Amino acid sequence: MDRNFQDRIDEYLLHADRMTEEDKALFLREIAEDKEKKEQYELTKTLKEVVTSRGKKLEAIERFKRMRAMRRRITIWASSAAAILVVGFIATEVIFHNVASTDEGGNVRGGDDVFVPEKNTKEAADTIAIDTTTIHTDRR
């Protein structure tokens, strides 16, 4: 392998903008005329592409990792906020429901007619009838 030629390959592949058009044409003609130099050029070009694509791949992997970490943080924050809202809603329902259903003494209240005593207990007992005819035993 000719080190001087390898330097020229590197110059052409990495810094072609620094070369004059005459130097580029001379370099390309030299590659076209010498099979060994063309193989060396193709190998170096392939290695450059591999290294470049590997670098791009590693950058893409890092971007993906950062995005995944950011999404994970957002999911955790959103889940936490939702949990706080649910717990707060349940707590306010329990507190305000219990306050509304008790009187000042803490007793559970019903409607106004729940504990109204009957005037005539015999009359009240007569209105409660148990119909024994509704219980059937079907023994076939």
How far is residue 71's CA from residue 56's CA, in Å, rounded to a whole number? 22
Q: What percent of the chain has pLDDT over 70?
A: 68
Find the distance separating the first CA and the last CA of the chain, reported in whole Å: 109
**pLDDT mean over 52-72:** 86
Does 115 fall in a domain?
Answer: yes
Q: What distances in angstroms separate CA 53 from CA 46, 57, 101, one per listed residue? A: 10, 6, 71
For the cut 80, the answer to whether the pLDDT of residue 117 exceeds it is: no
Whether the full predicted model's pTM is greater than 0.75, yes or no, is no
Domain count across the chain: 1
* pLDDT confidence bin for 87, thresholds 50/70/90: very high
Instruction: Note whether residue 71 is domain-resident.
Output: yes
Q: What is the CA radius of gyration of the chain?
A: 45
Quick one: pLDDT band at residue 111, thresholds 50, 70, 90?
A: low
Tokens of 19: 């070369």
Q: How confident is the model at residue 94 (pLDDT cuts 50, 70, 90)?
A: confident
17: part of which helix (H) or strand (E)? none
Q: Which two tokens stand for residue 135?
A: 């219980």
Contact 12, 24 (CB under 8 A): yes
Which among 24, 30, 33 is positioned nearest to 5, based on CA atoms? 30
Instruction: Report yes or no on 52 lying in a domain.
Output: yes
Q: Which domain holds residue 76?
A: 3-132
Q: Is residue 139 part of a domain?
A: no
Does residue 138 lie in a domain region? no
Residue 128 located in a structural domain: yes
DSSP state of 19: S
The 3-state DSSP class for residue 77 equals helix
pLDDT at site 76 = 93
